[in-house]
Structure 1
Amino acid sequence: MDSVPLWGIILIVVLVVIAVAAGVVLLRQFQNQTALAALQQRQRRLADLPLMDQVGTLAKMTLSGASLETFHRWQAQYNRLTEKEFPAVLNQLNQAGELNDHYRITQARRIVDTLTGRIADEERTAQDITDALAKITDVAQENQAAKQAAKERYKKLRKTILVQSFSFGSAITALQTALTAINESFAHVDVLESNGDHIQARTALGQINEQLDALQKEVNDIPPRVNELTNIFPGQAEELANGYDRLHDAGYRFFDINIPQELTKLDDDRQKAETLLRQNKVADLQAANKAIADHIDRLYDVMQKEIDAKADVEKMRGELHAFLTHAAVQNRTLQNEVRHLDESYVLTNDEVQTAARFGRQIAEAQERFTQDEQKIADQEAVFTLVAEDMKKIDSQLTAIEEKQVAMDKDLSGLETGEEIARQNLARFMMEFRETRREMGQQNLPGLPKQYKEFAEIVRQEIGKLDHDLNQVKINLEDITKQLIMTQEDLKTLKQRSADLIDAAALTQEILQYANALKQENPAVAKASSTATQIFNTTFDYPKALDTIATAVEAAEPGAYHRIESAYKDRKNQL
């Protein structure tokens, strides 16, 4: 096959490029045609909207005010849309079609893009005009329904006010004035509607509903307040006045409050509340009535407290009189006992002064009680204050009685304590003598210096106890401390004595046992000599025992323990 010449290849390439370019142009031309067809359809739908009918219908209606102003504003929008926008868009659609038909694809596409946004704006504007014009029509219809509903509310309220006029008291005039104002507002709505100002009429109807709401609240709130001012408060005030007179005649008095003045103020407050009622100041009236009710409750409470307090006082009078008598007798007995014991014992807790102070406090309480009784007899008693004072007296007497009983209990133990102390002293003396006698019976060559010094201390302690217990006034507190110390020291002395006796006896036994060992055991012989010297010269028997026992145990293991065990067995059998 012959090869294609170069010019042939170039021709083929050119033809291919032309074919591709033609295909692209045709494709874009088709796309433009499709887009233009869609835009034309949208534009026709806009032209077919019933905007002209809406505008025509409203133009025939008698509009004024806000409604007319709104109509004119949207009518101008309609005219601009139909007279300027629609023709301009139609002209551009035709121009784009011609350009596309003549294969001026790019120019046609730019117009398509511009028209897409412009027609979208037209659609939004057309919808806004439709909604606004429909709203004007709807407002007129809604106003009729709203006016009818408001008139029904008005009729009900007017009927309630007329039929129940007695329940509104002096506020009836203000309520009737409110009815008149609302009726005038309805007339104003009628004028607005007849003039075609439906939007302003809707605003006026909203104001009427606010008037009706306020009137409804007053119709609900005023009757209870009128009932309080007309029936409840006067009845309660009269009851308070009569109650005060009866209580005053019965001898009741009141502290820090002048009830007649309070009743006068209560009447003044009711008159002020009546003025608020006439002025139809419902919120202020409610606050005023609340204050009056609280004032009345407070006066009732004051009187009731005095009545209750008198009952408490009557119950306490006899009991407190008996309590005072009992406390005085108890105190005299206590003071006599304290003075008597003060002659024989040193009282370390100021019992004499304390008992006397209790007596003065009881006398002061008696004086207060007498004054309270006199006020009751003179019909000058404020029973709440008297009751409070009597409760304080009762509490004070209870505290004094508890302290007097505790003091008496403590004092009653003095003589018993003395007897116990003497018994312990006698026992100490006997045990000390027995200890000394037992030590004497051991025939020991002597006693260690420290032991003799400690024995002397114990002897002196026993002697001091004997001396202090034989004084005119005994300090049992100090003696008790001495008893504890002496008992411990005597116990120690007895233990030391027993230890010395055991050490001396064991030393002597082991020394005898050592005699058989010392000839053959120089260490035992030396220890025996040393222990004997200690035993007879320094009398340190434990040291002597330790010296010889150590040597013997070393020479003959177990010997010391056998001797010690045998000694303890003999001792336990005694």
Structure 2
Amino acid sequence: MKYIIPTIIVLCVIIAIVFLFRRKHRNEIQRLDQKKLQIQNKPVLEELTKVKALNMNGQTEEMFERWRNKWTELMDVEMPKIDVLLFDAEEQVDQFHFGKATEIEKEIESRITEYDQEMVKILKELDELIGSEEKNRIEIEQLKEQYRSARKTLLAHQYSYGPAAEPLENRLEKFNPQFEEYDQLTASGNYLKAREIVVSLKEEGQTLFKLINEIPTLLTEIQHKIPSDIHEIRNGHQEMEEQSYFLVHLEILEKLNQIEENLVEFKQKIADLDIAPVQLRVVEIKDEIESFYDALEKEVIGRKYVDDHFTEIGDLLESAIEATEKTVEEAEVVQKSYRISPKEANVPVNCKQQLLSLRQRYELLTVEVQEEQSAYSSMEETLKELKLSIEQLFEEQEQFADRMKNLRIDENKARAILAKQKRLLHDTERMLHKANLPGIPEEMDARLEEAAEQIFVAVNSLQEIPLNMETVNKNLEIAEKCIEDVHNTAVEMLENVQLIERIIQYGNRYRNSNPAMHQQLLEAEDAFREMRYAKALEYAATAVEAAEPGAMKKIQVLAKNKG
């Protein structure tokens, strides 16, 4: 038993492996058989039947016979061989000769692949032949119709084609022999050769019919429209020169001469049917002509601007210089009373220098206008630049003048603020002395003194000559903040004093019955007499709140209502 059981297990495994291999090969044989059937079912016979509907002559007959013989050979000779091989493979599998079966299967796979490629090639050639016949028939009719239409157009409008008429007609004449050759090839069954003629005619037709459509329009441009535009520009150029326009810088006449030379060259190119570069250059010429019109119009607009604004801008310049001179004088007066930075002080002087420089440019422009030897477009541009610069300088010096005027306003405003702050400080001190206080704390006295010192500093800065408003405003800001702080602190202190008095009055009702509270109130009163008002408020509030929780809120409400 020790050896029998392992032997049985090994035998079972071997048998299982054998049957697995057998099943695998049977599946492969079945797959190859299906592949063979697919080749046999390819529609070669149906396609060969379609060929019979064509002219069975010449090339078509030869190709038909070759395809039919190849198909017959595959179906009657090669496929039976594959059947034999499939049968052999099955026998080898049944006999468990798997290695031999594999060799046969590979041979079958190779043959089937080869035959399949042969079938695909035949079907492709059949499709090409049948498709060529149909395409040829449709496209040749289209070409013949286009040819007839082109020939009719060329004959009816021969004048419109100028020197291109004869070469176009010669190229059209070459179509007829090819049409005849096509008909002969089709009649003799040479559809593929006929296809080559159709393709060649289509290519030539695309070029030739396009030429016939486009040349009349192109000739109209170079023989009529462009020469008419050139003539119009020349006349306009001459009229403007007679009206004293300076146009030399535009070089329009030289460019027009070059265009006229181009037009002569274009006629020869059109006669050679080489119109692509002509079309491209015509587009460029039309753009150039448009630019000539724009340039001449620009000169007309420039002259109108110069005529309308020359004197006006001159007057504006003189007004700006006059105003700036006044500002310079005013600045000198202002500097005696107010201190301003060197940069600020130089603003009117710099404006004046720049305006005088602009006056020199204007004077040079005056000479150009009188001599009429400069382009009006250029003079217009210069005038506009002058006007813009004058307006900017005018605005700059006006802003400076406004700043100088504001110095006096700022001074008066500062004095008014200072007076208001003096009154506020005085009222604060008076309010403290009138209050029923044991005295004013040292800290409050120190803050009052500091506020008074800041008032003194601000007053002194306002008495300087020349006056430095920047320093004045800075000192005034410090004084203003200091006085407002001390005033707010004083008000808060007096409110606390009144609150202390009300708390003590409220707490008196508990003194006899609550010795602890009585003692705390005594401490609060001592702190009050010692001018420690914040501490007095803390003691009194703590005592009352301990005796009657929520009492402080009642007292504050009562104090607010009485206030």
TM-score range, shorter chain: 0.5 to 0.7
Correspondence for 1:490 among 483, 495, 499: 483
Output the CA distance in 2 between the equivalents of 1:172 and 1:408. Answer: 81
**Cα drift, residue 434 of structure 1:** 5.6
Alignment partner for residue 287 of structure 2, among 290, 294, 303? Answer: 294
**Counterpart residue identity of residue 229, structure 1:** I
Matched, 1:540 2:531: yes
Q: Structure 2: how far apart are the matches of 1:547 and 1:483?
A: 37
2:337 alignment counterpart: 344
Equivalent of 1:454, from 447, 455, 458?
Answer: 447
Shift of the alpha carbon at 1:276? 0.9
C-alpha distance in 2, partners of 1:160/1:508?
A: 122
- Residues 242-282 of structure 1 deviation map (CA, whole Å, 9 limit, x = unaligned): 22233334343459642222112212222221221121113
Q: Is the 8 A contact 2:438 2:528 kept in 1?
A: no
Q: 1:225 is aligned with what amino acid?
A: L
For the residue of structure 1 that corresponds to 2:355, the secondary structure is helix
Q: How does 1:37-56 map to 2 (within 5 A)?
A: none
Residue 390 in structure 1 maps to residue 406 in structure 2: no
Aligned-partner Cα distance in 2 for 1:193–1:429: 122
> Match for residue 307 of structure 1?
300
CA displacement at 1:393 relative to structure 2: 3.3
Does the 8 Å contact 2:365/2:379 carry over to 1?
A: yes
Measure the CA separation in 2 of the matches of 1:227 and 1:547.
109
Q: Could you say what the CA RMSD is over the residues aligned between the two structures, in angstroms?
A: 5.5
* Deviation sequence 1:381-409 (CA, Å, 0-9, x none): 33333333333333334444444443333
Task: Please list the CA deviations of residues 287-307 of structure 1 after superposition, one character each: whole Å capped at 9, or x if unmatched.
Answer: 232222222222222222222
Residue type of the partner of 1:477?
E
Match of 2:58 in 1: 68
Q: Indicate the residue corresponding to 1:261 in structure 2.
A: 254
TM-score (norm 2): 0.63
Which of residues 408, 416, 429 is equivalent to 1:415? 408
The alpha carbon displacement at 1:532 in A equals: 6.3
Q: Which residue of 2 aligns with 1:16?
A: none
* Aligned residue identity for 2:292: L
Within the alignment, does 1:277 sit opposite 2:270 as a pair?
Answer: yes
Range moving further from structure 2, 155-164 or 292-301: 155-164
Highest CA radius of gyration, 1 or 2? Answer: 1
Counterparts in 2 of 1:197 and 1:438: CA distance versus 1, 3 Å? closer
Report deviation, 1:550: 7.2
Q: Letter of the aligned partner of 1:236 in structure 2?
A: D
Matched, 1:360 2:353: yes
CA distance in 2, matches of 1:407, 1:253: 42
Tell me, yes or no, if structure 1 residue 252 matches structure 2 residue 234. Answer: no
- Following the alignment from structure 2 to structure 1, what is the Cα–Cα distance between the partners of residues 334 and 443? 42
| Residue identity matched to 1:424 | I
The answer to whether the aligner puts 1:465 opposite 2:458 as a matched pair is yes
Q: Show the counterpart of 1:10.
A: none
What is the match of residue 234 of structure 1? 227
Task: Write the mapping of 1:516-531 to structure 2, written as runs, cut at 5 A.
Answer: none
User: C-alpha deviations, 1:469-518, integer Å up to 9, x for none?
Assistant: 1111112222223223323323344455567778889999989x99xx99
2-structure distance, mates of 1:293, 1:521 = 115
What corresponds to 2:211 in structure 1? 218
Cα distance in 1 between the residues matched to 2:178 and 2:446: 125
**Does 261-270 or 482-491 show the bigger shift?**
482-491
Instruction: Give deviations 1:16-51, integer Å, cap 9, x for gaps.
Output: xxxxxxxxxxxxxxxxxxxxxxxxxxxxxx9xxx9x
**Quick one: which amino acid aligns to residue 312 of structure 1?**
Y
Deviations 1:302-358 (A, max 9, x none): 222222333334343344334323333332333332222221112259422223233
Q: Distance in 2 between matches of 1:160 and 1:522?
A: 130
Residue among 418, 428, 438 paired with 1:425 = 418
Structure 2 gaps, min length 5: 1-44, 78-118
One-letter code aligned to 2:531:
D
In 2, Cα distance between the equivalents of 1:375 and 1:215? 59
Closer, same or farther: CA 521–217 of 1 in aligned 2, 3 Å: closer
Counterparts of 1:185 and 1:170 in 2: how far apart (Å)? 26
Give me the whole-angstrom Cα distance separating, in 2, the residues matched to 1:503 and 1:204: 118
Partners of 1:155 and 1:318 in 2: how far apart?
72
> In structure 2, what residue type is equivalent to 1:176?
E
Q: Distance in 2 between matches of 1:180 and 1:551?
A: 126
CA contact (8 A) 1:524 1:551 kept: no
Would you say the 8 A contact 1:531–1:545 is kept in 2? yes
Counterpart residue identity of residue 343, structure 1: K
Distance 1:450 1:69, change over 3 A: closer
AA aligned opposite 1:237? I
Asked if the contact 2:299–2:376 (Cα under 8 Å) also holds between the matched residues in 1, the reply is yes
For residue 222 of structure 1, report the CA deviation from its aligned partner: 0.8
Query: Equivalent residue for 2:10?
Result: none
Query: In structure 1, what is the equivalent of residue 374 of structure 2?
Result: 381
Find the residue that maps to 2:451 and give its secondary structure: helix
CA distance in 1, matches of 2:442, 2:181: 133
> How far 1:224 sits from its partner (Å)?
1.0
Instruction: Specify which of 320, 329, 334 is matched with residue 322 of structure 2.
Output: 329
Q: What CA distance in whole angstroms lies between the structure 2 residues aligned with 1:196 and 1:549?
A: 131
Change (3 A) 1:70 1:367: same
- Aligned pair count reads 457
CA contact (8 A) 1:185 1:204 kept: yes
Kindly tell me: are residues 215 and 496 of structure 1, through their superposed partners in 2, closer, same or farther at Cα, counting changes over 3 Å? Answer: closer
Structure 1 gap segments, 5+ residues each: 1-45, 59-66, 90-123
Q: Please give the residue correspondences for 1:44-193 in structure 2 after superposition, counting only pairs within 5 Å.
A: 68-71=58-61, 74=64, 154=147, 157-185=150-178
SS in 1 for 2:346: helix
Q: For the residues of structure 1 that align with 2:501 and 2:64, how far apart are their CA atoms?
A: 145
Shift of 1:213: 4.9
Tell me the equivalent position of 2:110: none
User: Partners in 2 of 1:494 and 1:157 — Cα distance?
Assistant: 107
Measured in 1, the distance between the counterparts of 2:170 and 2:403 equals 89
Equivalent residues of 1:524, 1:555 under 8 A apart: no
SS state at 2:174 partner:
helix
